[in-house]
Amino acid sequence: MEILARELLRHQHLYHVLARPEISDAEYDRLLDELLRLEKRFPQLASPNSPSRRVGSDLDNAFPERPHTVPVLSLDKLYQPEAVAQWLRKTATACGGAVGFAVEEKIDGASIVLYYDRGELQYALTRGNGLVGNDVSDNVRTVAQVPLRITEPAALAVRGEIYITRRDFERYNAGLPEKYANPRNLAAGTLRNLKSALAARVPLNIFAYEGFFAAGGRDHMEVLARLRDLGFRVNPRLGFFSADGERRRRARALFPEIADGPLEDVEKYLRLQAEGRRALPYDVDGLVLKVTDLDLRQELGYTAHHPRWAMAYKYESPQAASRLLDVQVQVGRNGRVTPVALLEPVALSGSTVTRATLHNQDYIDMLELGIGDQVSISKRGDVIPAVEEVLEKSEQQPAIFKLPGRCPFCRTPLVREGAHHFCRNEECPERRRRALAYFCAREQMDIETLGERTIALLYEKGWVRCIPDIYEFDYGRLQGEEGYKERKIARIRESVEASKSRPFARVLAALGFEGVAGAVVAALIDHGYDDIDKISETAAREGWEEFAAVEGVGEATARLLVEHFRKPRNLETIARLRRAGLRFRAESASRPRLDDSFAGQLWVITGSLERFTPRSLAAEEIRRRGGRVAESVTGRTTHLLAGATPGSKLAKAEKLGVEIVSEDEFLARLGEH
Ligand code: IVH
């Protein structure tokens, strides 16, 4: 098993790091199968760094905190090449002139520290707050470019960046239900994937850029070369600048492809790299300049947060720097918990930003965000503020903000479903208040006089606790409340009354049933669900498949629809609102409902029709007679209207025994209308 493991790891390195395989894929698979067979038979002999670990596991990952044993600092940064050149001169002078600088790409990925002992990868930690990181070893083991074993027996720590190329990002992200905003977030999110078998599917890469050896090597260039020779991927796009020609010669001997020159050349090199960065296959957010002499590094030392021997040259000007003051935990009308960052006010492209959504716990974990941290803020699509990354960890503990275990409004324990946490208490006062506010908001029923403040008052008094109460409450009782004079009360009455004439589509969306917003409502009505009774009858009688037949309604929404319209509480709400005079039936303004001659029928239309172009005109006639129309033929289809050159739908309908109707026959059935 040991021999097989060693052979396999060697071939993985040849394939994934050096791109120089020595054996065919089939031969490789044969060796791996042999090892897997042995590991199954003798599980107690399987090594934690077996090549079989590359495929990950189905077990849930835990990410325990572990202390870093090497300093994991971040870099100070500058934005102008001239400023960087000035820093370079100053630092060279402080070192007495005999100094060399490495210039590396600053890869925009997720920072990782790999700890090895006696040649084995012990664990891999995220940066965390620099003192303590999260153990993400099982996910990191799936990255084929990370050596699981090395020939260096002594203790070793390696810092590097895990990243994904832009191309792989586009391809992989396209298939995800919840998209990542950029390659960096996907890389950081993958390191925190709960199942390492899923992490294994993401084509991650690594570049190693710092090594902490127990002994030997007094220069960074030697360290990089040694890392490379041990099997780590070291970025070959590297520069070395020094006044000393002998140092440059030594650097070239270690890295033949290196760009080198005297210190005066650095500024030009920075500009050139900045220009060429779009052509790289991965995201680079700047360059890192480092003093290479490790003794000089010691002498230069550190500020509270940064090494004095290194500097980042960042390509983009800062989005905006701010500090996370607190996290507000919001609970929506459907119980979904959303953490919101409360930020030190900062001006950013024309407005002052004080808040930004943090989406969910996973997003916070991915950023490794804690209260007090310095953060950078951007505006997505130039509008919505977002926390992009932590610039500077606060040394306060705990390192990462955690959502509370209970709903802050009703103390019900929160439950996690997918990426989000939920308060499942339907009586939760915050959920109730939010449902009322949503119903009254401009986009829904547009009851202008019932703003957040009035709703809060009505709710706290116990006067309006649920949506129908809005129409049943006697607003005269507001008299005497601070700020509610007769005129204001009259205006409230008027706007509540006016809202009764909102069209069915608005009413249905305003009810705020999860998943039943504007687009879904429009799809339902288009499909013939133009009356609330049709929806509740379908929900009561049939399964979700019936709703899923509607173009624009997915399975998840279809299941929710059935759930919503079977709940007695919701049916009661609808009944009360109907009594109050709200509209629960869509009026097709120009083409009124004719009769029920097509009631209970589900039609599909195929081929081209002579007298109905576009085909939707035929669909409309079906609906005006109480029938419904679907896109595809299923077991529930009752009729197929077949025009000229019908497609595969005809064959399917015939197979299922669906009644096939020609255009002439259809015209006849439409009758005298
Ligand atoms: S040096 C003390 N070199 O940039 C040494 N960092 O704040 C500090 N990064 O999150 C790091 N490429 O993950 C260094 N070639 C490189 C880098 C690099 C990317 C990241 C690093 C850290 C941030 C620096």
* Tens-digit pLDDT profile for residues 284-318: 999 999 999 999 999 999 887 789 999 999 987 66
Of 351-355, 598-602, 628-632, least confident by mean pLDDT is 628-632
Strand 77-78 relative to strand 65-67, pairing: unpaired
Question: Are the CB atoms for 636 and 546 separated by under 8 Å?
Answer: yes
Mutate-to-test residue for ligand 1 from 105, 106, 125, highest number of ligand atoms within 8 A of CB: 106
Could you give the percent of the chain with pLDDT greater than 90?
Answer: 74
Q: Whose CA is nearest to atom 23 of ligand 1?
A: 74
| CA 124/CA 140 separation, integer angstroms | 7
Tell whether domain 77-314 is in CATH 3.30.470.30: yes
CATH class of 2-55: mainly alpha
- The stretch 332-358 carries a mean pLDDT of 93
Res 382: pLDDT: 63
112 within 8 A of 121, measured Cβ to Cβ: no
Q: Which residues pair with 330 in a beta bridge?
A: 338
Provide the greatest CA pair distance for the chain: 102
Q: Is the pLDDT of residue 589 over 60?
A: no
Same topology between domain 319-417 and domain 429-501: no
Pairing of strands 639-642, 602-606: parallel
Which pLDDT value is given to residue 57?
A: 81
* Residue 590 clears pLDDT 50, i.e. is over it: no
Min mean pLDDT across 77-81, 239-243, 558-562 is at: 77-81
472 CA distance to ligand 1 middle (Å): 63
Half-sphere exposure of 24 (CA within 13 A, CB side): 3
Which whole number is the average pLDDT over 632-640?
A: 90
Distance between CA 546 and CA 99 in Å, rounded?
74
pLDDT score at 103: 98
- What average pLDDT does the chain have? 92
Instruction: Report the range of poorest mean pLDDT among 102-111, 559-568, 593-602.
Output: 593-602
Q: 504-580, superfamily in CATH?
A: 5' to 3' exonuclease, C-terminal subdomain (1.10.150.20)
Q: Look at domain 319-417 and name its CATH class.
A: mainly beta
Cα 207 to averaged position of ligand 1 atoms, centre (Å): 11
Provide the residue ranges of all domains of the chain, joining segments of one domain with +: 2-55, 77-314, 319-417, 429-501, 504-580, 602-672
- Is residue 106 part of the annotated active site? The answer reads yes
Superfamily of structural domain 602-672: BRCT domain (3.40.50.10190)
Instruction: Return the ligand 1 atom nearest residue 108 CA.
Output: 19
Give the residue carrying structure tokens 């009944």: 575
Phi–psi pair at 134, nearest 5 degrees:
-95, 140
Cα separation, 443 vs 449, whole angstroms:
14
Pocket probe for ligand 1: among 68, 76, 105, 111, the residue whose CB has the most ligand atoms within 8 Å is: 111
**Inter-helix orientation angle 220-229/245-254, to 10°:** 10
Strand partners, 307: 302
CATH of 429-501 given 1.10.1060.10, 3.90.1150.10, 1.10.150.20, 1.10.3210.10? 1.10.150.20
pLDDT in tens, 561-580: 999 999 999 999 999 999 99
Residue 612 vs residue 103, higher pLDDT = 103
Active-site pick, 40, 77, 90, 106: 106
Residue 473 has pLDDT above 50, yes or no: yes
Q: What is the pLDDT of residue 384?
A: 82
Query: In this predicted structure, what is the pLDDT of residue 449?
Result: 95
pLDDT tens, position by position, 384-418: 899 999 988 887 766 899 999 999 999 999 999 98
Nearest atom in ligand 1 to the alpha carbon of residue 160 is: 13
Give 39's strand partners. none
Q: Whose CA is nearest to atom 2 of ligand 1?
A: 73
pLDDT in tens, 65-99: 999 998 888 899 888 899 999 999 999 999 988 89
Residues with CB under 6 A from ligand 1: 73-75, 104, 106-107, 111, 161, 209-210, 288, 307, 310
What mean pLDDT do residues 587-616 have? 80
Give the model's pLDDT for residue 71.
81
Work out the average pLDDT over 124-152. 93
